[in-house]
Amino acid sequence: MKKILICLLFVNIITNSFAQQWRPVTAGVSFKIKMLGSTVDGKFKGFMGVIKFDTKDLNNASLVASVDVNTLDTENNLRNRHLKEKEDFFNVSKYPAIKMKSTKIEKVGDTYIGYFDLTMKETTKNIKVPFTFKQDGNNATFSGSTTINRRDWEVGGGTLGLSNEVTFTILVNAIAQ
């Protein structure tokens, strides 16, 4: 009897661990910032993520993601090159990725609040990202958006006319593993 209980406990632990894993299939990371009063839209590709998320066990949830900064696209090649190459901006040769790692996740009403360590260049700061989680069988969508101050990460320097506030949005479609 003792062996059966130990086996059931082991199977339960393994099943719960695997049930919480999500593999990103598609992802979009976009941003908006004002420059001289006009909105500049941009996006990043090269999303990589590891998602462990169970609505019934948020204490063990973990979301870790990164984007390849060299994939930055604002639909203006001259601006893209400037943002990628200049030390005041992203300097992709020295800082090739932007990274996020959850530190805590809470449920608030029908949405979730994720607390993340966001690393750009050499700076890591904790941010709060409200997001939704929609599950349909083995498919799920994570979608969130927040606004940060670019100067907290020393991005953009003192560029005249550039807003300090940047809004970014993340949309991830994932399947259960």
Burial (Cβ within 10 Å: 0-12, 13-18, ≥19) of residue 148: buried
pLDDT at residue 1 in the model = 57
pLDDT at residue 144 in the model = 98
Q: Which of 44, 31, 73 is nearest to 163 (CA)?
A: 31
pLDDT at residue 3 in the model = 60
Report the DSSP beta bridge partners of residue 130: 113
pLDDT at residue 18 in the model = 45
pLDDT at residue 19 in the model = 42
Report the DSSP beta bridge partners of residue 106: 113
Instruction: Determine contact, residues 28/171, Cβ cutoff 8 Å.
Output: yes
Cα–Cα distance measured from residue 59 to residue 49, given in angstroms and rounded to the nearest whole number:
19
Instruction: Determine contact, residues 67/44, Cβ cutoff 8 Å.
Output: yes
Q: Which of 169, 176, 167, 171 is nearest to 33 (CA)?
A: 167
> DSSP strand E in 3-137: where?
21-35, 38-44, 48-52, 62-68, 97-108, 111-120, 123-136
Cα–Cα distance measured from residue 97 to residue 55, given in angstroms and rounded to the nearest whole number:
29
Cα–Cα distance measured from residue 133 to residue 38, given in angstroms and rounded to the nearest whole number:
32
Query: What is the pairing mode between strands 111-120 and 123-136?
Result: antiparallel
- Position 157: which residue type? G
Instruction: Give, for all 177 residues of the chain, the pLDDT tens digit.
Output: 556 545 444 544 544 444 489 999 999 999 999 999 999 999 999 999 999 999 999 999 999 999 999 999 999 999 999 999 999 999 999 999 999 999 999 999 999 999 999 999 999 999 999 999 999 999 999 999 999 999 999 999 999 999 999 999 999 999 999
pLDDT at residue 11 in the model = 46
- The residue assigned the tokens 């062996």 is 3
Q: Supply 17's token pair.
A: 């661990």
